[in-house]
Chain A
């Protein structure tokens, strides 16, 4: 589950990383957030959880296990380095989202993103070294 900002800060040992994220202040963390923000961040995860548990109830434990292994292969193994764009074709095919269009295909396309992350930092973050 993707955490809410402020409740589990990004530094090592769970302490706020002042160098990268600035000073903490309670007022900053009490900013109004959109009612949909949390539900949208976790939407895909929740859908997957629901589908896997239904699959487990119908077909037994082996079905979600095998599928999750394939998901993991598509997402982590056959994936590019974090700062490069990838089309996620394998993941889309597994999820059957290659045959439907939603707002995530139209809005905020990462291929047209205006900001770019620093490659070294992104790889370090992914590997957990940051």
Chain B
């Protein structure tokens, strides 16, 4: 339907028409219990070791005070040698990392080079700064490229830090304690995995927003080992009975069969050429 109050085609991108409506709705919910976006109150951690980078994350996604997803994947693929853990608003981290991955793929196809971690960091920084923190994505980027093993963190406003070990999310203080205690430069693979596992475990135990299983992702020059789950929660409940009703639970009382009367209205024959 052609509307006469539209003078230009709508610009692509974000649409801010609903801000007035949202402001009006906020007053209607009693005592400010407006629906909240699904956040990943999280513990994510990363450690640079001798041959690469280990990233770890828990798997709980919360929506307000309810666990929305018990097996959420927080370690996102960016490129074959770069993976990214995301904390903050779940949708924001997913979409931002998807866009980042697409941009890096286009770049590497264009130039014929493997993407570097610093490129991903720059693209993210520009993208997040442009939106002045409205995109709630706290990301830990880790990867191995021709210049070495790197671990970066990008905040929602576009701040960047390059560090050898790191944790983010609501459980970051607990995890950071373990990391500070156990980190040594040039760790081997197994101690590094154990350190990240212990750090995430501490975050899960001490923080309500993190929980369930632990995922680990090991990135080395040879390849990526995405172990999901690395350790399952010991409090996982096992369903004791099947909830499906077996056949015959509902008794059949009466049965009535009515055949449908069909009559041929029109018949056309179309010859098919099978030559």
Which residues of chain A have a CB within 8 Å of any CB of chain B? 10, 20-21, 31-37, 39-41, 43, 82-83, 85, 99-110, 113, 115-119, 121-122, 125, 130
Contact = CB atoms under 8 A, between A and B. Distances in A.
A83 B14 contact: no
B8 A108 contact: no
Contacts of A82: 8-9
Contacts of A36: 14, 16, 131-132, 134
B2 A118 contact: yes
B66 interface: no
Given A32-B19, A37-B19, A116-B1, A103 B13 contact: yes
Given A20-B4, A108-B13, A117-B3, A100 B130 contact: no
Given A100-B103, A116-B3, A85 B15 contact: no
Residue of B7, B95, B110 contacting most chain A CB atoms (<10 Å): B7
A54 to B, nearest CB: 16
Interface in B61-100: 95, 99
Contacts of B95: 103, 106
A122 B10 contact: no
In this complex, the interface size class of chain B, counting residues with CB under 8 Å from chain A, is 20 to 34
Given A117-B4, A130-B7, 18 more contacts: A31-B23, A32-B19, A32-B20, A36-B14, A36-B134, A99-B107, A99-B110, A101-B106, A106-B99, A107-B15, A108-B15, A110-B12, A115-B6, A117-B2, A117-B6, A119-B2, A122-B6, A125-B7
B13 A118 contact: no
A109 B15 CA distance: 11
B102 interface: yes
Main SS class of interface, B: loop
A3 to B, nearest CB: 13
B224 interface: no
A6 B18 CA distance: 18
B274 interface: no
A103 B8 contact: no
List 4 A-B pairs, minimum CB-CB distance, nearest first: A117-B6, A104-B13, A118-B2, A104-B12
A105 B12 contact: yes
A48 to B, nearest CB: 15
B127 interface: yes
Interface string B104-124: 001100100000000000000
B119 to A, nearest CB: 12
Residue of A33, A103, A109 contacting most chain B CB atoms (<10 Å): A103
